[in-house]
């Protein structure tokens, strides 16, 4: 993964948490007379959310960066992901059906890209997230070239 | 030459006899509503009945329109179907992508000599859009289409369109050429009651009755026989009541299951054609014929549900690309053998499975009988902790409900009494776990209520997933999934020791994992 991905993951998590916090603030304002929940309760919920959010935004990207790995050789693509449930996925390049690369709006800002490699099996898509754009382009070009060179319909 | 052929190939229509079938089908489907209409009569007033009648009429008209808008043709290279009234749509399938052809004829179809043809391609997506369905052709036409699509395609390479256009010269489906691998025997009916397919019938009957009641405004409480039965039932003591209900249910489900078995699998035949296809025909009323290309066969799956296992029965299904995995006993075209003696399933599997080139010949144990490697004490402990974990959760929830919400105490007492059964279940689940690598097949077995043993050709494995949850990592276990384009798309070897999982994956696909083993994990001793 690109080191920039840490910032991208942090930004994405932060945006998610900001939406939740904003919703809570709106609730606090509209519920000003305290019929639903006393104001102290509102504040307590807000503080708890903020603490969880800060912890998530700072710890998660580092952790994810550490547990996510990928590798592509001339024969196969390999990924490792997950922290509670660790998963390794391997697909031989000769069995690759499609190679997609995808850039969301936020990823474009950080100059990152996702690459998804699918085989003929519905159980085996391999997703590599948070690659920097040049690496992603090179990977896609390489995989496509090798996959094209193999004969057969890869089932 | 191709252009000339394509130009002269006109679009063909479905059989005009479908114009008769559609109205009848719609009326049958609306039968509960119509019956309700008859029982309730027009005296109760209201326009609801009229609306349902109008709905039936509309469906009939739409169904008939479908006949006018659907056409198809088979060119030397493609099969094309045009359909749709508002949105015209042409589905085109290259002929060399045709994997399976499924010919079904329901009772009505058979009376009029019709058959529905469904063409399966390699796509494994859940959506039905790409499927080619022709409902319906005349039986002769359907049989000809099947032969045309499947038996010519292996030899008619894209480079030889002339050979493909010469197809009509070949005698269609000469019966002498096929070899019979299995056939329904009357004594197999004894497995019928153990298939539990009757439970579905119970649901259907219940649904029918409830629709009849709601649409026909019938008050069941006022029907004489029902009242009588209910009164007689209320007079019994509680244990007797429970025993009666259980007995009635068991008898009903057994009878319904046996009936379902006979209807679904009567006339079952499995044959092999020299052109390289397996052919399954079955069904007493609804005839169903499935053709599977043997070169698409990647393995087989032997399923032994708990009840069937008790009477030494099993059923066999094919793991093949282009057919989705079978759901339930009757659905899915991948069935190779209905519930039958286990020995029969084993021998059919032996006949059907393609011999892997380079692997030792038949002297080695067949993938369906080979001894499996057990998964060791850690997997056994995990079976027990998981089974008792779920049990304890249920027990705790019931206890809490009893304490605070006033649930009767017999609920949690019953659950507590079931604790030994959980141990049996966990032990059986462990006993089922096993894997092996034999004569070029990866074999894995799992499950207790429905024990399954899948044999997958190593060549059909197109990738590996290794999953390790937090608890599995502590126990040193992993779940290895062999991904494949066939059947269920992925076959799991559950809770196997990590070293063994890597050994298995390396042995099944030599060389694939080697570059990653050292870096991926400090299990360098394996790589």
Q: Which of B152, B147, B146 is CA-nearest to residue B166?
A: B152
Measured distance CA(B302)–CA(B336) in Å, rounded: 10
Q: What is the pLDDT of residue B40?
A: 59
Please report whether residue A54 resides in a domain: yes
Instruction: Assess whether A58 and A76 both reside in one domain.
Output: no
pLDDT in tens, A35-50: 667 778 888 888 999 9
B469: burial class by Cβ within 10 Å (0-12, 13-18, 19+)?
middle
Span B193-211, pLDDT tens digits:
888 777 777 788 888 777 7
State whether A47 and A93 are in the same domain. Answer: no
In B294-414, beta strands by DSSP E: 297-305, 313-320, 335-341
> Residue A117 is part of which domain span?
69-149
**Rounded Cα distance, B320 and B63, in Å:** 33
What whole-number distance in Å separates Cα of residue B67 and Cα of residue A97?
37
A87·B467 Cβ contact <8 A: yes
**Whether pLDDT at B161 is above 50:** no
Cα atoms in the 13 Å half-sphere on the side-chain side of B490? 20
Q: Give the Cα separation of B22 and B28 in Å (integer).
A: 10
Q: What is the DSSP string of B209-252?
A: HHHHHHHHT--GGGSHHHHHHHHHHHTS-HHHHHHHHHHHHHHH
Residues 6+ apart with CB under 8 A from B374: B430, B433, B434
What class, spelled out in words, does domain B2-158 have in CATH? mainly beta
Question: Which of B43-47, B131-135, B306-310 is the least confident region?
Answer: B43-47
**C-alpha distance from B467 to closest chain A C-alpha (Å):** 4
Q: Are residues A143 and A78 in the same domain?
A: yes
Total count of domains within chain A: 2
Residue that terminates a domain, selected from A66, A91, A110: A66
- Is B109 in contact with B125 (CB distance < 8 Å)? no
In-domain check, residue A36: yes
Q: Check if the beta carbon of residue B267 is closer than 8 Å to that of residue B281.
A: yes
Q: Return the pLDDT at A155.
A: 57
Most confident of A47-56, B240-249, B399-408: A47-56
Domains of chain B, residue spans: 2-158, 376-520
Contacts of B125 in chain A (CB under 8 A): 122
Q: Is A88's Cβ below 8 Å from some Cβ in B?
A: yes
Contact across the interface for B465 and A121, Cβ inside 8 Å: no
For residues A75 and A139, membership in a common domain is answered with yes
Please say which residue of A66, A89, A106 terminates a domain: A66
**Tokens representing B26?**
């719609």
B406 vs A: CB within 8 A = no
Q: Which residues of A106-129 are buried (b: 16+ CB within 10 A; e: fewer)?
A: ebeebebbbbebbbbbbbbbbebb
State the CATH number of the domain containing residue A117.
2.30.29.30
- Give the A:B interface size as CB pairs under 8 Å: 97
Strand partners, B319: B299
Boundary (domain end) residue, out of A30, A47, A66: A66
For residue A15, tell me if it sits in a domain.
yes
Statement: residue B163 has pLDDT above 60: no
- Is residue A115 one of the residues assigned to a domain? yes
Strand partners, B132: B119
In tens, the pLDDT along B71-113 reads 888 888 888 888 877 777 888 878 877 777 888 888 888 888 8
Write out chain A residues lying below 8 Å of B466, CB-based: 87-89
| A46 lies within 8 A of chain B by CB | no
Q: Does residue A47 share a domain with residue A101? A: no
Q: Are residues A62 and A76 in the same domain?
A: no
- Within this chain, do residues A58 and A73 fall inside the same structural domain, yes or no? no
* Nearest in space to B81 (alpha carbons), one of B126, B37, B145: B145
CA distance B355 to chain A (A): 18
ipTM, interface predicted TM-score of the complex: 0.81
Q: Is residue A154 part of a domain?
A: no
A62 and A74, same domain (yes or no): no
């Amino acid at each position: 993964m690109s080191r920039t991905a840490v910032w991208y993951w942090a930004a994405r998590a932060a945006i998610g948490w900001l939406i939740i916090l904003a919703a809570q603030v709106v609730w606090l304002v509209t519920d000003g007379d305290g019929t639903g929940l006393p104001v102290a309760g509102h504040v307590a919920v807000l503080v708890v959310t903020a603490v969880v959010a800060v912890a998530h935004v700072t710890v998660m990207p580092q952790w994810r960066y550490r547990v996510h790995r990928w590798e592509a050789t001339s024969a196969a693509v390999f990924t490792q992901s997950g922290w509670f449930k660790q998963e390794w996925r391997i697909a031989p390049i000769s069995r690759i059906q499609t190679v997609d690369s995808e850039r969301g709006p936020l990823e474009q800002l950080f100059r990152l890209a996702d690459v998804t490699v699918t085989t003929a099996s519905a159980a085996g898509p391999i997703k590599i997230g948070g690659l920097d754009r040049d690496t992603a382009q090179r990977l896609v070009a390489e995989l496509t070239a090798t996959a094209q060179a193999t004969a057969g319909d890869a089932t | 030459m191709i252009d000339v052929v394509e130009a002269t190939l006109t679009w063909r229509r479905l059989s005009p006899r479908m114009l008769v079938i559609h109205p009848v089908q719609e009326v049958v489907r609306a039968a509960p509503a119509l019956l309700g209409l008859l029982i309730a009569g027009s005296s109760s007033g209201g326009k609801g009945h009229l609306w349902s009648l109008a709905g039936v009429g509309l469906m009939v008209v739409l169904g008939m329109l479908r006949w006018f808008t659907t056409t198809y043709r088979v060119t030397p290279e493609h099969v094309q179907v045009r359909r749709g009234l508002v949105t015209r749509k042409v589905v085109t399938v290259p002929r060399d992508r045709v994997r399976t052809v499924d010919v079904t004829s329901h009772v009505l179809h058979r009376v009029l000599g019709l058959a529905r043809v469904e063409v399966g391609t390699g796509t494994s997506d859940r959506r039905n859009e790409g499927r080619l369905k022709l409902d319906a052709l005349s039986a002769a036409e359907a049989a000809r289409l099947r032969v045309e699509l499947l038996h010519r395609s292996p030899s008619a390479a894209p480079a030889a369109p002339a050979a493909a256009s010469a197809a009509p010269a070949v005698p269609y489906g000469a019966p002498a050429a096929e070899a019979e691998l299995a056939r329904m025997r009357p004594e197999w009916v004894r497995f019928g009651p153990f298939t539990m397919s009757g439970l579905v019938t119970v649901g259907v009957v219940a649904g029918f009755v409830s629709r009849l009641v709601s649409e026909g405004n019938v008050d069941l409480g006022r029907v004489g026989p029902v009242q009588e039965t209910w009164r007689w039932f209320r007079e019994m003591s509680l244990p007797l009541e429970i025993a009666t209900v259980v007995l009635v249910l068991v008898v009903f489900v057994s009878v319904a299951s046996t009936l379902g078995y006979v209807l679904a699998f009567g006339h079952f035949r499995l044959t092999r054609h020299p052109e390289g296809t397996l052919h399954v025909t079955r069904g007493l009323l609804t005839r169903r014929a499935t053709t599977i290309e043997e070169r698409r066969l990647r393995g087989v799956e032997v399923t032994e549900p708990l009840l069937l296992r008790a009477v030494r029965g099993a059923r066999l299904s094919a793991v093949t690309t282009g057919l989705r995995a079978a759901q339930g006993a009757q659905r899915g075209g991948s069935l190779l053998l209905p519930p039958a003696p286990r020995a029969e399933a084993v021998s059919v599997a032996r006949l059907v499975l393609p011999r892997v080139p380079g692997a030792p010949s038949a002297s080695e144990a067949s993938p369906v009988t080979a001894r499996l490697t057990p998964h060791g004490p850690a997997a056994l402990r995990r079976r027990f902790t998981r089974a008792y974990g779920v049990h304890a959760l249920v027990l705790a929830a019931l206890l809490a409900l009893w304490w605070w919400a006033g649930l009767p105490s017999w609920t949690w007492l019953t659950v507590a009494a079931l604790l030994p059964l959980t141990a049996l279940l966990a032990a059986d689940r462990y006993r089922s776990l096993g894997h092996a690598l034999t004569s070029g097949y990866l074999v894995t077995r799992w499950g207790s209520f429905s024990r399954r043993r899948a044999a997958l050709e190593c060549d059909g494995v197109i990738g590996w997933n290794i999953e390790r949850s937090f608890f599995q990592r502590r126990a040193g276990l992993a779940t290895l999934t062999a991904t494949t384009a066939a059947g269920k798309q992925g076959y799991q070897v559950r809770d196997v020791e990590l070293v063994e999982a890597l050994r298995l994956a390396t042995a099944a696909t030599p060389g694939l994992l080697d570059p990653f083993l050292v870096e991926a994990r400090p299990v360098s001793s394996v790589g």
